[in-house]
Amino acid sequence: MSLPPEAAARFIQDALRNDHNRVILERMPLLALLDAWLVAGCLFQTVWNLRAGRAPTDGIRDYDLFYFDPSDLSEAAERAVGARVQALFEDRGIVVEAKNQARVHTWYADWFGHDYPALTCARDGIDRFLVAGTCVALQPGPHGPTLYAPHGLDAIYNGLLAPNPLCNHRMLYLRKAADYAARWPGLRLAKAT
């Protein structure tokens, strides 16, 4: 989906009002991770906080990095990356988690009870968030962050939660959407099919 430049600029500006997001994006290149993106909650929840008149960081539990490294699908390799990530952001007093999207298919069914296809890049993982409108990510670039938002930004700014047809696991969606709605009462839930 092609986004109007002004909509993308607004979202990036809003997401960077959370100082943790700004610092993470500044430091991400130091990790030298392949196909790395700052994803999900720390971005759209910052926007929801701003819409609700709350502090940009309010209620954000963690900050997630997706990367794609098919050369080592082991849990140990992902843990080693996670340790490097935590060390880099230790001074921020936040939890930053890194997930190798090349290995999600190796554990997803055991953890969530649903099959998951092998992915070809980190954006494939972003495309499969349970709530369609929350499929957003930022990647540092030479001229500022690059935005990836395959479903656009309207649902985030309008507070609408709807299931993602690429990952339409009804009960998981309902649980996730209910958690979001409890934490940001202005959100509206679409019915899961």
Distance between CA atoms of 72 and 9, rounded to whole angstroms? 35
15: confidence class by pLDDT, cuts 50, 70, 90:
very high
Q: What is the pLDDT of residue 115?
A: 87
Q: What percent of the chain has pLDDT over 70?
A: 98
Question: For residues 170 and 178, what is the distance between their CA atoms, to the nearest angstrom?
Answer: 12
Question: What is the per-residue pLDDT for 1?
Answer: 67
Average the pLDDT over 7-29 and give the result: 98
CA-to-CA separations, 79 to 84, 89, 100, in angstroms, rounded:
9, 15, 10
SS3 at position 96: strand
Burial class (CB in 10 A: 0-12, 13-18, 19+), 133: buried
* Alpha-carbon torsion (66, 1, 26, 19), positive or negative: negative
Distance between CA atoms of residues 96 and 64, nearest Å? 6
d(CA 48, CA 41) in angstroms, rounded, equals 10
Which of 2-6, 50-54, 109-113 shows the highest mean pLDDT? 50-54
C-alpha span between 37 and 186 (Å, rounded): 28
Give the residue with greater pLDDT, 192 vs 136: 136
- Residue 184, pLDDT score: 96
Beta bridge partners of 99: 66
Mean pLDDT, the chain, integer: 95
Is pLDDT above 70 for 58?
yes
Number of neighbours of residue 54 by Cβ within 10 angstroms: 14
- pTM for the full predicted model: 0.94
**Overall average pLDDT of the 27-50 stretch:** 97
Torsion sign (Cα): 124, 126, 128, 133 = negative
- Per-residue pLDDT averaged across 52-80, rounded? 97
